[in-house]
A and B are shown apart, each in its own frame.
Chain A
Amino acid sequence: MEGQIQVKKMAEYAAEGKNPEVLFWVGCAGSYDARAQKVTVALTKILHNVGIEFAILGEEETCTGDPARRAGNEFLFQMQALQNIEVLNGYGVRKIVTACPHCFNTIKNEYPELGGTYEVIHHTQLLQDLMAAGKLKVEGGAFKGKKITYHDSCYLGRVNGEYTAPRKVMEALDADLVELKRCKTNGLCCGAGGAQMFKEDEPGDKRINIERVEEIEGSNADIVAANCPFCITMITDGVKAKEKQDKIMVFDLSEMIVDSNKW
């Protein structure tokens, strides 16, 4: 599919009396964080190229409330969550895809008790589904021969048990895959979860992202594939702190597909 990519909003579809196949939940990081925006753009290109009819909420989307709830601020969580559920239910949203495992987890597992039940998938699950159905192909082999490792995010992996979809997607990249010592159920947190992203660390020996990057260094990988905007930030910071930014690249899986296909 060629030409300018149009990102329509739910409100526009609603005005036409239509309901798109899927809502792309962008999230705060995907909307505002310069690095995460690149992932948002990459996923948009994929959705566009495989011809999925999708929309975003735009200004009607707010934080899911995940960091507030995990910080202990239930009031703030409920305010965000109930407002989002009002909007989602108002548009009759059925299926949601998001590139943030925290948004994914909260909408999937915490919104139902508040009155919001949707089919929620993480973008790596969508990518695997599209590949399995033959709708998404990876060309070029831009990563052929590169040593790639994968960092399990806590909220896609250990919390929601999704370990295979992202790995299946990586297989298609034709790269040399190496697992980190602490992977899958034993995956090490990047240090951002539980609202740690928004505060200084408590006193300790080192930062958690440094611990993780040291493990990544030990794997001799050229590229770390991730699935979470916060993991990407933390690992990138850790790589910079170790002055390895020329040796180790950090990408989201969707970016790697877009690169391979030169979209």
Chain B
Amino acid sequence: MGIQQIAFILLMAVVGYFAFKRYSRLRKNIMIGKEVELEGNSSERWKNTFLVAFGQKKMFKNIIPAVFHFFIYAAFLMTQVELIEIIIDGIAGTHRFFAPMLGGFYTFLISFIEILSVLAFVSTIIFLARRNILKIPRFKKSEMSGWPTLDGNLILYGELLLLIGIFSMNGADTVLQSIGSAHYYDTGNLAISSWLGPALFGSLGEGTLIGIERFGWWLHILVVSGFIIYLTYSKHLHILLAFPNVYFAKLRSRGAIKNMPAIMNEVKSMMGLTEEVPAEEMTDELPNFGAKDVFDLDWRTLLNAYTCTECGRCTSECPANKTGKKLSPRKVMMDIRDRVEEVSDHIAKENITDLSTYDDGKSLFDYITKEELFACTACNACVEACPIMIDPLGPILEMRRYEILTESAGPKDWLPMFNSMEQVGAVWQMPEARDAWTNQLK
């Protein structure tokens, strides 16, 4: 067994260990949320997964970023083939394991990946320019200052490194094949490397070429390994979570806010519409309604928060945000994730097992202010805008419910409307009869 094989297996073991730890924690964090009753059926869910997640249907509302994003996405999907080969080669000590068995198809496959990689390279540079030179407004909102902006750039730099790795590896490989170096199997003419390789490395000696080929190979796998761990700290988790997030996305009508059966049943019994509520279901304890903290949100909302890639399409469509109000649907999702992370750290530090008594003196309201919550018009523009079916409106309404139902707080302006509705069944208290308008027909 060669030294590179040992190093590779060790690397895989270390990455595997940390990845297992980080992704187990991620799963646990999402499951802090309450149970969700999934609507609809699985065929609808798979349809969404194919169209919206795999097919990126909702991205194409905004064609320019959609096309560039699609190149990076397609390169990411296809490069997995090359990654599998790298892993096999790394463990078995082979070189281009698939090449002999696939023959001409291998040439086609790697060429295809190379073309996508060039497109992805160009797209990544355009994305860096959009973020840093063109200053697209949605990347410059206040919630993006500091870490979120750095995070976005780091991901793009990481992508460039990955692609540099691929082209160093394939380019040097092509030249090594042409000089008949041992172990470098003929891959056929690769679409990009067959000219890029000789152009960059044509004059170099065999030893240097092998060094460059190995450098590219190791750079690729090291950046991939780094990515796997880094993702769990980054906004970039959407490359994995977009798929389950779309699969589990809300299927009920946008117009139907989540019902509260406890309140419905209580009102029914008040109105004499149901049988007496059995004694064991009655409690003296005042229940908490709505969401004060992440425990009160369902796990789907927490999955939404981890899936959010902070693109800001929601915020740039939000009528409140457009007119200078503090509300930003993206910030709501970022705040939920930050709060889950805080809770998760606290749980780990204090070794807490019973979440029902969790109290660190903070709540989601330390992150999301009432001013933000009450500026929402429930217009669903954010819901429509999200390419991966995140629902920022859900938690906003849940937090409003907490304010109004549990805290009996909320904007004072609403009281006359509430009172009038309660007393006369209309949003305004008017002296005339509800059908007084019919007089205008006479």
Contact = CB atoms under 8 A, between A and B. Distances in A.
Interface on chain A toward B: helix, strand, loop, or mixed SS? Answer: helix
A73 B255 contact: no
B440 interface: yes
Contacts of B320: 202, 204, 208
A185 B383 CA distance: 11
Interface in B254-270: 254-257, 259-260, 263-264, 267-268
Query: Looking at A56, A58, A110, A195, which has the most chain B CB atoms within 10 Å of its CB?
Result: A195
Given A28-B428, A110-B256, A198-B427, A206 B323 contact: yes
A67 to B, nearest CB: 6
A211 B441 contact: no
Contacts of A68: 417-418, 421
Contacts of B271: 79, 82-83, 86
Nearest to B260: A74
Contact of A198 (B267, B381, B414, B442): B414
Nearest to A204: B324
A56 B437 CA distance: 12
Given A75-B267, A78-B264, A206-B324, A63 B256 contact: no
A218 interface: no
Interface in A1-34: 4-5, 7, 9, 26, 28-33
Contacts of B374: 199, 202
B413 A200 contact: yes
Interface string B410-442: 110110111001100111101011111110111
B377 A194 contact: yes
B319 A113 contact: no
B325 interface: yes
B428 A86 contact: no
A11 B325 CA distance: 47
B257 A31 contact: no
Given A188-B319, A191-B319, A204 B325 contact: yes
A45 to B, nearest CB: 8
Contacts of B324: 203-206
Given A63-B425, A193-B377, A204 B267 contact: no
Interface in A70-110: 70-76, 78-80, 82-83, 86, 105-106, 108-110
B434 A31 contact: yes
A7 B421 contact: no
B286 interface: no
A239 interface: no
Nearest to A104: B255
A207 interface: yes
Nearest to B396: A194
B378 A194 contact: yes
B326 interface: yes
A78 B410 CA distance: 19
Given A26-B434, A37-B437, A158 B380 contact: yes
Given A32-B430, A83-B271, A74 B401 contact: yes
B338 interface: no
A165 B414 CA distance: 34
Nearest to B271: A82
Contacts of A44: 438, 441
B257 A189 contact: no
Given A28-B426, A82-B268, A5 B441 contact: yes
Nearest to A153: B379
Contact of A189 (B290, B379, B411): B379
A61 interface: yes
Contacts of A32: 426, 428, 430, 432, 434
B131 to A, nearest CB: 23
Query: Looking at B260, B263, B417, which has the most chain A CB atoms within 10 Å of its CB?
Result: B417
B377 to A, nearest CB: 4
A189 to B, nearest CB: 4
A169 interface: no
Query: Looking at A26, A68, A75, which has the most chain B CB atoms within 10 Å of its CB?
Result: A75
Nearest to A40: B437
Interface in B209-247: none
A87 to B, nearest CB: 11
A186 B317 contact: yes
A73 B397 contact: no
B425 A80 contact: yes
A96 to B, nearest CB: 15
A159 interface: yes
B403 interface: yes
Contacts of A31: 426, 434-437
B400 interface: yes
A185 B384 CA distance: 7
Contacts of A199: 374, 411, 413-414
B135 interface: no
Given A79-B267, A191-B319, A206-B324, A58 B255 contact: no
B282 interface: no
B434 A58 contact: yes
B323 A196 contact: no
A74 B441 contact: no
A82 B255 contact: no
B376 interface: yes
A194 B373 CA distance: 11
Interface of B: 61, 253-257, 259-260, 263-264, 267-268, 271, 273, 289-290, 317, 319-320, 322-327, 371, 374-381, 384, 397, 400-405, 410-411, 413-414, 416-418, 421-422, 425-428, 430, 432-438, 440-442
8 contacts: A32-B426, A56-B435, A83-B271, A109-B253, A189-B381, A194-B376, A198-B416, A201-B375
